[in-house]
Chains A and B, each alone.
Chain A
Amino acid sequence: MQTQESTVTFSALKGVDAAKLEKELTAMWGASSGESADDPAVGVTRACVLNLIVYAEGQEERAEVDALLEVVVQRHPCRALLVVADRGAEEAKLEAFISTRCQLTSRGAKKICGEQITIAAAGSAVVDSAATAVAPLLVPDVPIFLWWKDIPHYEDKLFDRLSELADRVVIDSASFDNPHFDLTRLAQILGERSESGSISDLNWGRLTSWRSLVASFWDVSDYRASLSKIESVRVEYDPPDRAPGEIAPKALLAVGWLATCLGWEIEGADAAAGEEEQRRFTLRAGERSLEVVLQPTEDVAGRDGMITSLTIRAEGGDEFHVALRPEENKLETGAKVGGGQHEVSRVLGYEARSEGQRLSSELEILTRDVLYEKAVAFAARLLGTIKE
């Protein structure tokens, strides 16, 4: 797939005139079509399946987002509205740029194009004007996503206004500076916002393949009895880069997911026990107690907060595990049941997906993910038991 890009800078010192921008875009599309008017097979198809508002801070993040949108547009031709904020600037400023992103089909025939409007806001214009500049530029009748490429500033007016426009807000709990606080705050926000709009978490998306592999153990009817006899869950994770002393949000979400699906409740935490930095929690499943151990591994560059293994042990020595061999991009899964009489293991490929691919997957989901919300709520309750 090939991407072509053209950009027109559109100065808008007195604010962004949506009608003028649309006119410029139409002219740009006309020019693209004109290039191949003699050969209709090489024309362009202007496609828009959604609006994607992206918030980025500073030029560095802007460049990252630009690169990432190339991947997203391949899967979701859309109108991307990129808000680049320079909050520290003294002078209030608002500028807009338009560009089209085209991909050639594999046969090099028709180009499929989406479009991008970049709004660069500086100083007080970030909060005062950016959201009102975005609103009239949204393509009607297709879903609106807001990807907030930063820790959500729930109290921030711009976040508030943009998220009000959106059908769904995409965040990334892996980017939390202070995971314990931020996750607890997120749980609170999810509780408050549950009726108005939904939140999507790239980190929850990252957990999907793990959840799927863990769940698949109990697709086997012979193993199902062990589900109600679980004695311990051990999750090992790489420490989060931004807060190495805290539990990686992904590990907490994994426990939150298991607890939600299996109806576990919290009995207590034993924060100080065991090995260094290890956290132990006691949960209750009906009449039985079970132990959850969250264990950071050695910090390895490039694994930022990833789960490296998840092991579930049940009565009678039954054991189920999924482990990552990151250096080889492989996943191992194994089940040992009947006191070791039956053992099955296998190796699977682990395709590390790019952030662009992850974001693309989030853009396919429009409905509220109640299971995610419950998993976050459980993770927050678990964190609440830790006595620092």
Chain B
Amino acid sequence: MQTAENVVENPLRAGMRLERTAEPCAVVIFGASGDLAKRKLIPALYRLVQERLLPAEFAIIGLGRTAMTDDEYRDRMKASVLEFSESKQIDEEVWQSFAQGMKFLPSNIENAECYQALAKMLEEVERERGTQGNRLFYLSVAPEFYAEAVRQLGAAGLTKSEKGWVRVIIEKPFGTDLESARQLNQGILQHLDEKQIYRIDHYLGKETVQNLLVFRFANGIFEPMWNRQYIDHVQITNAETVGVEGRGGYYEKSGVVRDMIQNHVFQVLSLVAMEPPAALNAESVRDEKIKAMHAARAFTPERVHTDCIRGQYGAGAIGGKPVPGYREENGVAPDSATETYAMVTMRFDNWRWSGVPFYIRSGKRLSKRVTEIAIQFKQAPHQLFGTAMEHITPNQLIIRVQPDEGITMRVAAKVPGQVTRIRDVNMDFRYGASFGVQLAEAYERLILDCILGDSTLYARKDMTERGWELVMPILEEWGASKAEADFPNYEAGSWGPEASFNLLEAEGRKWRRT
């Protein structure tokens, strides 16, 4: 949908049906020949061209250390679209037309002169392509350069545009701990307004995550039950089958809490736990998300021991194929205490969720790749059917984020026959089944949102810091008690350490078999 302002400005945008298309702009990609640009950004931008969602007045300036000409850069990007796009195809003429607006500037991110050259190139591009002074800087570089790039942009006067807007997309990870996240926020806010900053979390670009808002607030039947009166507990599973994939060195400094939980999982968690927003705009939605996260109970050292479990995988097999243990991976210390699995019990001290635990687990080399939210409702108050109910689990609502995006409601039903036997049955809604459309890649959606100035699906400053605030006690406690870790404590291809099952069992619950 086009925004109301857009319709007023462009009367031909009135009415329905017309897809929202991007405003004219120049996208400057820092780290333009890097992995993310090749695998995700350029294929996403080309897909937007194919979908006719980018205007003619559009340009890309790639910045990178490697010296190359515009044509060489275009050729490289073309090869990456062929390799990494879903269709693995390119329409030569359409590509040529798109690539006309693509330039490359060899640059060193720390060198002020490069920003002068960038400013000049931007003026040139704006003149040639008519990008209306709108500039989007995409920081797809190592995290230690985020603050420096913004500082240099500010010093070169590029964080403001006389005519159009300036926005900056910052990739993950946003800081490595609370202190560094705060410093980073402080640093970039010296040169940019919060409204100009788009901290990307590609989980929020996934269709099912967006559907959570629709599911909760467009359906009258769920919201009245979405509280402690009816919900027993919530399980969020974020499981990967992959290991560290050659990034052992990076992962050693990171671990699953930093890599997944404090950002992606907390974003999803806040959408489940939040109150209804007053309006569907970036600030209202993000206000409610942060409010929910402020109600999350802090982790004391005692709580880390009672409510959290860490794990690290040993050798095992995934889908029948033997895989090495974490400590045998390249770049990993043989006595590494880095967690590749974490289970965290979140408890909210507010009216809605008091007494309802949110069990979160995330890990590498688990049995199956799945991200899902399972809402477990309370048992029916009276066991009317006696032993017939024995193997019945309470109602569950499962929201699958990936793969096979969809929603399943588990209910009890009578097995046909003379005797009353009751079984669980699943009522399935799958995106692929009800809307047989190819879901857009998260990056397509998020880049388009940014160009349109919609930051609803981006993380705000307070949320990034709150995520770190919550996990810091866990990281500190685990850091201080490395010797107690007893790693490796789960086999690759299993569902994680035994202790995580025991923890739920001690509370009279168990992990859902996903």
Contact B15 A369 (CB under 8 A): yes
A344 CB-CB contact with B under 8 Å: yes
Beyond A49-B434, A218-B12, A220-B130, is A212–B428 a contact (Cβ under 8 Å)?
no
Residue of chain B at shortest CB distance from A334 = B56
A333 CB-CB contact with B under 8 Å: yes
| Closest beta carbon of chain A to B139's beta carbon, Å | 26
Contact B16 A216 (CB under 8 A): no
Contact B56 A367 (CB under 8 A): no
Stretch at the interface among B3-11, B64-72, B203-211: B3-11
Contact A76 B9 (CB under 8 A): no
B107 CB-CB contact with A under 8 Å: no
Question: Interface range on chain B: under 10, 10 to 19, 20 to 34, or 35 or more?
Answer: 35 or more
Residue of chain A at shortest CB distance from B18 = A212
A4 CB-CB contact with B under 8 Å: no
Residue of chain A at shortest CB distance from B163 = A221
| Closest beta carbon of chain B to A203's beta carbon, Å | 13
Contact A261 B436 (CB under 8 A): no
Residue total for A at the interface (Cβ-Cβ under 8 A): 49
Stretch at the interface among B19-27, B172-180, B230-238: B19-27
Contact B430 A112 (CB under 8 A): yes
Q: Which of chain A's residues have a CB closer than 8 A to the CB of B56? A: 216, 333-335, 344-346
Contact B129 A344 (CB under 8 A): yes
A361-B132 Cα distance, complex, nearest whole Å: 33
Contact B10 A369 (CB under 8 A): no
B49 CB-CB contact with A under 8 Å: yes
Contact B15 A344 (CB under 8 A): no
Contact A215 B10 (CB under 8 A): yes
Q: Which of A220, A347, A372 contacts B24 (CB 8 A)?
A: A220
A194 CB-CB contact with B under 8 Å: no
- Name the interface residues of A208-260: CB closer than 8 Å to any CB of B: 208-209, 211-216, 218-222, 224, 227, 258
- Name the interface residues of A298-335: CB closer than 8 Å to any CB of B: 328, 330, 333-335
- Name the interface residues of B172-207: CB closer than 8 Å to any CB of A: none
- Most chain A CB atoms below 10 A, which of B9, B50, B130, B433: B433
B91 CB-CB contact with A under 8 Å: yes
A370-B14 Cα distance, complex, nearest whole Å: 10
- Name the interface residues of A254-297: CB closer than 8 Å to any CB of B: 258, 261-262
A113-B509 Cα distance, complex, nearest whole Å: 36
Contact B93 A218 (CB under 8 A): no
| Closest beta carbon of chain A to B61's beta carbon, Å | 17
B432 CB-CB contact with A under 8 Å: yes
B382 CB-CB contact with A under 8 Å: no
- Name the interface residues of B123-140: CB closer than 8 Å to any CB of A: 129-130, 132
Contact A367 B130 (CB under 8 A): no
B369 CB-CB contact with A under 8 Å: no
Q: Which of B10, B15, B19, B57 contacts A371 (CB 8 A)?
A: B15
Contact B436 A221 (CB under 8 A): no
Residue of chain B at shortest CB distance from A328 = B93
A77 CB-CB contact with B under 8 Å: yes
A219-B55 Cα distance, complex, nearest whole Å: 9
Q: Which of chain A's residues have a CB closer than 8 A to the CB of B437? A: 75
Contact A220 B97 (CB under 8 A): no
A344-B432 Cα distance, complex, nearest whole Å: 39
A218-B21 Cα distance, complex, nearest whole Å: 12
Contact with B along A353-387 (1 / 0, CB 8 A): 00000000000010101111000000000000000
Contact B24 A219 (CB under 8 A): yes
- Name the interface residues of B390-436: CB closer than 8 Å to any CB of A: 428, 430, 432-436
Contact B57 A220 (CB under 8 A): yes
Q: Which of chain A's residues have a CB closer than 8 A to the CB of B50? A: 349
A323-B485 Cα distance, complex, nearest whole Å: 67
A132 CB-CB contact with B under 8 Å: no
B52 CB-CB contact with A under 8 Å: yes
Contact A212 B433 (CB under 8 A): no
Contact B94 A76 (CB under 8 A): no
Beyond A75-B435, A112-B432, is A349–B16 a contact (Cβ under 8 Å)?
no
A367-B1 Cα distance, complex, nearest whole Å: 15
What would be 10 A-B contacts, judged by CB atoms less than 8 Å apart? A106-B432, A222-B130, A227-B11, A227-B12, A330-B94, A344-B56, A348-B52, A365-B17, A369-B15, A372-B15
Interface residues of B (CB under 8 A from A): 6, 9-19, 21, 23-24, 49-50, 52, 55-57, 91, 93-94, 96-98, 100, 129-130, 132, 428, 430, 432-437
Interface residues of A (CB under 8 A from B): 1, 45, 47, 49, 74-77, 103, 105-106, 112, 205, 208-209, 211-216, 218-222, 224, 227, 258, 261-262, 328, 330, 333-335, 342, 344-349, 365, 367, 369-372
